[in-house]
Structure 1
C-alpha cells in the first residue's frame, strides 16, 4: 500500500471492467464512516488515476434501498396472487419469493457488480486486483453476507469495513473485492470532444491512432492536474501520460507535457471531425 500526503479533494473516476487496472490504496484523513481511502489506478498505459472507495454510509444506504425494493416486491406478490387472485398461497409464495434470497448474488452477477440500491448510490463491486468481477467472487460475497450482514444486522460488516481500511467487509476480503464509487462530475473540460477551429490543421496527425479511451484518459489527467491545489504533485502523472502517448503515436513532444497533451486532444478531434 502506497501512502502519500493527504489529498483533501478527490475526484470520482468511473471504472471500466474492460480495462486491466491495478489498484493500490491511499489513505485519506477523513471520518471512515462517511469517507474511505482514495484509490490509485494504474491503467494499461501505466498512468495512475485516483478515486474514492465507497464509504460505510454509501453502502448502508444502498443496502437500505435494496431492502425497500425487496419489500415492495414481496408486498406486490402477496397482494396480487394471494389477496387479489386468491391462488394457493404455499405454491405461489414459494415460486415468487424464491428469488429474494438470491437478490444480491443475481444482480451483482448479471449487472457487473451493481444491485439496484448500489446503482442508485453510484457504487459497484469491483475486484481488488483490477480484474473483471467473476461469478465465483459474487458467490463468495453472497455466502459471507449471511454471516457479516444478515446474522449481525450489518454490524460485523461495518466493523470490518472501518478496521480493514480498504473498504472491505469479510465477504469482500474472502472474494478479493472492494466497492468503489463510480459517479463522476462532468465538466466541459472533461468531455471527450473539444471544439476545433474550422481551418485548424493537426500539429500531430498521428493523434488519429488514439482511441476514445485514450483521449478520455488524457482529459482526466489534464483535469486532475489543473484543478488540484497542489499541481506539482501531479507532474509525474503528466510525464507518464505524455510518455505513454508518445510511444503509442510514435511522436516526440515539442512542447511542455500539458501543452503536448492538450494539443493531442485537439488534434484527435481535428482528425475525427465530421
Structure 2
C-alpha cells in the first residue's frame, strides 16, 4: 500500500508526506503509555508521604499527565511525544504545516471518542478505512501523523585543488559550477565532458575541462558561494 500523500507548498514545490500507519502509531502510543504510567507511579510514591494534600496533588497530576502530556510535547517538541520520537513520527497539520495549539488540544481531547465503544475501536476502524490513517481526532483537528523526513546528507564535491576564477562570477554562475561538481559523479564521462565544453576554455582537452570546473567549484565552496 502506498502511504505517501502529495502536498504542494505555497511556493509550488510538491512534497511527499509519508503517513504513519496503525502499527507504528500503536507502538508510539504504547511507549507514551509506559512513560505516563511510570511518572504516575513515581508521583504516587512521592506524594503518598503527604496524606490528604498529597492525594489531592496526585489526582491533579494524573489529570494533567493523561490529558495534557501529549499536547505539551506536540507543541514543544516539534509535534513529537517521546513515543512518537522513538518511532520517528511527528504530528503536523493536514497541509504539512507545524501543528497549532488548538489542533493539538482538539485531537487529544477527542481520544475519548476514538476509544468508544471500547479499546480504541472507533479510532482503529477509522484509521483502517482511510488511506491517510487518520483517527476521529485527526479528522476534526485536521492533523496528520507522518514519518519525520530523514535529514539529507549534503553532497560532497570531488577532491580537487581549489582554483579561483579569473574573472568575477555572478551568483547564478557560481551555483551552476557547484551544482555541476556535486552531480558530476552521477553523470557519464561523456555527458560531463559535453557540459564542461559549454563554459571551459576551448584549448583544454575534454577530460581537463571537467577537472577545471571541479577545481573552480572547490575554490568557490572554500570561500562560500556569494554574490560578486
Pick from 148, 154, 162 the counterpart of residue 199 of structure 1: 162
Matched, 1:181 2:130: no
What residue is the counterpart of 1:158 in the other structure?
Answer: 124
1:75 Cα offset (Å): 0.8
Structure 2, unmatched stretches of 5+, are: 187-197, 200-214, 224-228
Q: CA deviation at 1:193?
A: 5.0
Note the C-alpha offset of 1:173.
0.9
Q: SS where residue 106 of structure 1 aligns?
A: helix
Query: Shift of residue 102 of structure 1?
Result: 1.7
**1:205–1:267 CA contact under 8 A, matched in 2:** no
Q: 1: CA distance between counterparts of 2:218 and 2:138?
A: 41
1:110 and 1:124 mapped to 2: Cα distance? 12
- C-alpha separation in 2, matches of 1:195 and 1:147: 54
Q: Show CA shifts across 1:18-38 (max 9, x none).
A: xxxxxxxxx62xxxxxxxx11
1:87 positional shift: 4.2
Deviations 1:212-263 (A, max 9, x none): xxx9xxx9xx8xxx8xxxxxxxxxxxxxxxxxxxxxxxxxxx69xxxxxxxx
- Of Structure 1 and Structure 2, which has the larger fraction of its residues in helix? 2
Which structure 1 segments of 5+ residues have no match? 1-26, 29-36, 227-253, 256-265
Corresponding residue of 1:243: none
Q: Confirm or deny: 8 A CA contact 1:208 1:268 kept in the other structure.
A: no
Taking a change above 3 Å as real, the CA distance of residues 200 and 103 of structure 1, as seen in their structure-2 partners, is same
CA–CA distance in structure 1, aligned partners of residues 123 and 216 of structure 2: 49
Within the alignment, does 1:98 sit opposite 2:63 as a pair? yes
For the 8 Å contact 1:128–1:176, the answer to whether it is kept is: yes
Question: 3-state DSSP class of the match of 1:138?
Answer: helix
Taking only aligned residues, the RMSD between alpha carbons, in angstroms, comes to 3.4
**SS of equivalent residue, structure 2 residue 110:** helix
After TM superposition, give the deviation of residue 76 of structure 1 in Å. Answer: 0.6
1:169–1:113 CA distance, 2 compared to 1 (3 A):
same
Query: 2:80·2:89 contact (CA, 8 Å) conserved in 1?
Result: yes
Report the Cα offset of residue 47 of structure 1: 3.3
Residue 149 (1) aligns with residue 115 (2): yes
The CA deviation at 1:90 is 2.0
Aligned residues: 186
Partner of 2:88: 122
Q: Deviations over 1:73-124 (max 9, x none)?
A: 0111112221xx4543423313432321221222212223211111111111
Distance 2:216 2:4 in 1: 33
How many angstroms apart in 1 are the aligned matches of 2:121 and 2:73?
23
CA–CA distance in 1 between the matches of 2:11 and 2:218?
Answer: 21
Q: Report the counterpart of residue 241 of structure 1 in structure 2.
A: none
**Aligned partners of 1:209, 1:150: CA distance in 2, in Å?**
60
Q: CA deviation at 1:136?
A: 1.3
1:237-248 superposed matches below 5 A: none
Partner of residue 32, structure 2 = 66
Aligned to 2:79: 113
